[in-house]
Amino acid sequence: MSTYIDVHIIQNIPPSCVNRDDTGSPKSAIYGGVKRLRVSSQAWKHVTRRFFSDHLDKADLGTRTKRVVSTLAGEITRQAADLADNAQSLAEEVFNAAKIKITEPRAKKGEDGSKKAKESGYLLFLSNRQIAQLAELSVKSARSGEELDKKEVKKIFKSDNSIDVALFGRMVADDADLNVDAACQVAHAISTHAADNEFDFFTAVDDAKSHADEREDAGAGMMGTIEFSSATMYRYATVNLDLLHENLGDAEATLRALTAFIEAFVKTMPTGKQNTFANRTLPSMVVVQVRDDQPVSLAGAFEKPVRKSEVDGYVKDSVRELVEHEERLEKAFGVKPLSGFFASIEELEELDMLGERVSFPELTGRVRDVVESRLPASE
């Protein structure tokens, strides 16, 4: 029976534009018949990966790029400086052996694209360990004069996945056998209530002009508008523990990846217009549930938009609606989680039905203790 870890978050975001569309407006969605503020899952996954880069060993992570030839050539050169002149062609041989199509990049006007390293036609996600092993295999082949072992190349692509590859997956359009199914799903965050955008009209002063002769025009050096919004958001993500273990092949690495993801997902914030709005907040409530049936989003709690309370705003009523929706789902469908833990700044009696109240520093450890017994022991 599979194990799923659901993460539910209620988070207040002050005036900001953390995630905007192609027109510069904060992203939105219609849900329950009304307009909601929305932050895309891609935006939160991106900052989650950046958190990994700052807090995890580089060896446990990967690189996602179209510049796969130059990336591998750099590692070949690092391992064997004497092969630097041939590193690019050696790297090309590796990707040709894996049947991953690489082509010359599109050149800018006046540039010779043939002088640049070839690229894949799409972003390719490789673990840093895979890059190192592919380079090692290439160096060994070059020095022995033997042809590159295609089976060994493919074997490397299919083993030693990094934490970020295991969580977020990899698609290889040229060979589906090299795909990695994502163990993590992240929902688009939506406001729990109706939310409209506003406009900030701003001006910027020309310092030199402002100190010039009084007779000179003292108007603004530039002016413009920034669209922004604010809301209480519902955020949700789920991790398939069994698939994560399958992708990583090691119980300890699986637990490390799970706890790192929970911490990163809770503590990060997309960075759009952050210097303008300084909108970084932490959640008002985090709920982590361990299930053995299926992932269960609680977004339905907010299909009917929460109404503003003149005294408490939106956060408390959003928390109450989430708790009540969880209770209704349990009664109707019998989908009770195996375990639940929550950290909250709200002191509400009804929260107890979500599980055990803990501080967030304790939460990841408690979840780890629960799921550890559900993983096969490392060999």
**pLDDT given for residue 210 in this prediction:** 67
Longest CA–CA span in the chain (Å) reads 82
Identify the CA nearest to 51 among candidates 131, 132, 160, 168.
Answer: 168
Is the distance from CB of 357 to CB of 343 less than 8 angstroms? yes
**pLDDT given for residue 215 in this prediction:** 57
**pLDDT given for residue 312 in this prediction:** 83
**pLDDT given for residue 372 in this prediction:** 95
Tell if the pTM clears 0.85, that is, is over it.
yes
pLDDT tens-digit map of 95-106: 999 999 999 988
**pLDDT given for residue 203 in this prediction:** 85
What stretches in the chain show pLDDT beneath 50? Answer: none
Is the distance from CB of 300 to CB of 325 less than 8 angstroms? yes
**pLDDT given for residue 218 in this prediction:** 61
CA 294/CA 2 separation, integer angstroms: 8
Interhelix angle 251-267/41-55, nearest 10 degrees: 120
